Amino acid sequence: MSNAVTQIIKNRAIVADDWFVLRAGEGQEASLLEVPAGKVIVPLATWLAQHEELAIRAQTGQIGVWFASDERPETLQGQFGNFAVVAVDFPKFTDGRGMSIAYNLRMRLGYTGELRAIGDVLRDQLFSMSRVGFNAFAPRPDRSIEDALKGLSDFSETYQASVDQKLPLFRRHARSATDAASTASTASNDIGAGI
């Protein structure tokens, strides 16, 4: 475990990170990993294999869990209250499966705590990640965290509904009855008229 102070983006601010992300080394079985003292985010396999020992530490806010992009959050349905943080790993920036995991955690499983993106996390992804429910980000260490923070404000408006905005833009856009009537009369053959 490294003693170096690392930083993450949490709730749109750069903060010190006092959590350690436990990963299996090459040839190591995740279920057999030794979990060090302190605040540790463990792989799902480690939590499942060592549940009884880790549950005691989880009650004191010392244990979080992370999902690989090919794991299903439903595996821990009903257990999310045990964790101070849940993380989703992005093994490479082109792998978007973690976005679906985050969306499901927030919308279907009701997780309301810290949801952290870890792994190959780049500035270009942060805005979309925040839309599906991430509120904490551990950008790649070889990139500027200050620059990554700017990625959260790259766009001022969104069209689609998501975790952060339940209504699509056309439902949020206020228009008067006269605007709608005039649009409908001039574009009667246009299916999307008035949107």
The segment(s) of the chain belonging to CATH 3.40.50 are 6-159
Q: How far apart are CA 166 and CA 161, in angstroms?
A: 5
Q: How confident is the model at residue 153 (pLDDT cuts 50, 70, 90)?
A: confident
Residue with tokens 């980000």: 137
Question: Could you tell me if 71 and 98 are in contact, meaning their C-beta atoms sit under 8 angstroms apart?
Answer: no
Q: How far apart are CA 78 and CA 83, in angstroms?
A: 11
Look at residue 180 in the predicted model and tell me its pLDDT. Answer: 53
Q: How far apart are CA 2 and CA 167, in angstroms?
A: 43
Q: What 3-state class would DSSP assign to 33?
A: coil
Q: How confident is the model at residue 155 (pLDDT cuts 50, 70, 90)?
A: low
- Is the domain spanning 6-159 CATH 1.10.357? The answer is no
Which pLDDT tens digit goes with each residue over 104-132?
A: 999 899 999 999 999 999 998 998 899 89
Is the confidence at residue 2, as pLDDT, over 60? no
Q: How far apart are CA 131 and CA 163, in angstroms?
A: 6
Question: Could you tell me if 137 and 151 are in contact, meaning their C-beta atoms sit under 8 angstroms apart?
Answer: no
Which pLDDT tens digit goes with each residue over 69-95?
A: 999 999 999 999 889 999 999 999 888
Which pLDDT tens digit goes with each residue over 4-48?
A: 569 999 999 999 999 999 999 888 998 899 999 999 999 999 999
